[in-house]
């Protein structure tokens, strides 16, 4: 039986670039791949899978929670590659697991493990439960040189854990972070909100607090 893979990493860890490289290698060998992406991800266009480095390919299948994958159309495919797997529903992950069993086709899913609130996404949680192989695509923290494990959301330069878990965005909204820097940035962000609320601001020259 072919395997179900989950390759996860923080924002900016080149997950999509990795996916496109794998797709290119298969195609260079004359093999067919099926590229899958969530219907909701329209950042670069409805059917485009695009890396931050600028490389892109067109998705073959767009999915949402109601999608029923057509197994007949996948016959002859060498590999199924899924981008932004964290946004995929449990129902789709179960179908992808079934593809590895019934069609003996490997499925490689790329995505975030957790949201900016440090909670597992639905698709990621199901992949953690079902995947044969769980691999980390490593990257470094934006604020230091440690390995990034968290996705830090910021609004106007202030870190926050407010808002819905599913939000589309890139560098303008999210930073890769180690856990230590994540905690510090969140705490600093909360202090910033308090200062703004009570009318306290920082001194430009010495960063002391004044009324």
List residues with catalytic annotation: 84
Q: CA-based diameter of the chain, in Å?
A: 70
Exposure on the CB side of residue 163, measured as CA atoms within 13 A:
13
Compute the distance between CA of residue 177 and CA of residue 150 in angstroms, rounded to an integer. Answer: 5
Nearby residues of 124 by Cβ (< 8 Å), 6 or more positions away:
6, 8, 85, 86, 111, 112, 113, 114
Backbone dihedral region for residue 118 (phi beyond 0: left; psi -120 to 50: alpha; all else: beta)? left
Exposure on the CB side of residue 160, measured as CA atoms within 13 A:
13
> How is residue 57 written in tokens?
């390919």
The answer to whether 37 and 83 are in contact (CB under 8 A) is: yes
The answer to whether 19 and 81 are in contact (CB under 8 A) is: yes
Instruction: Give CA separation, 108 vs 25, 104, 159, in Å.
Output: 14, 13, 32
């Amino acid at each position: 039986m072919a395997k179900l893979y989950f390759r996860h990493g923080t924002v900016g860890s080149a997950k999509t670039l990795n996916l496109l490289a794998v797709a290119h290698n298969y195609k260079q060998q004359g093999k067919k791949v099926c590229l899958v992406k969530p219907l909701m991800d329209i950042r670069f266009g409805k059917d485009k899978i695009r890396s931050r480095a600028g490389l892109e390919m067109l998705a073959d299948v767009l999915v949402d929670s109601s999608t029923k994958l057509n197994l007949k159309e996948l016959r002859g495919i060498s590999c199924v590659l899924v981008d932004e797997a964290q946004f995929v529903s449990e129902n789709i992950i179960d179908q992808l697991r079934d593809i590895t069993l019934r069609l003996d086709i490997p499925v490689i899913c790329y995505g975030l493990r957790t949201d900016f609130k440090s909670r597992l996404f639905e698709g990621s949680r199901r992949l953690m439960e079902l995947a044969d192989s769980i691999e980390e695509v490593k990257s470094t923290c934006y604020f230091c040189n440690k390995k990034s494990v968290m996705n830090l959301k910021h609004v106007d330069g202030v870190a926050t854990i407010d808002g819905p878990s599913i939000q589309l965005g890139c560098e303008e909204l999210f930073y890769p972070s180690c856990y230590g820097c994540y905690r510090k940035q969140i705490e600093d962000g909360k202090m910033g909100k308090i200062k703004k609320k009570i009318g306290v601001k920082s001194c430009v020259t010495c960063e002391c607090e004044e009324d």
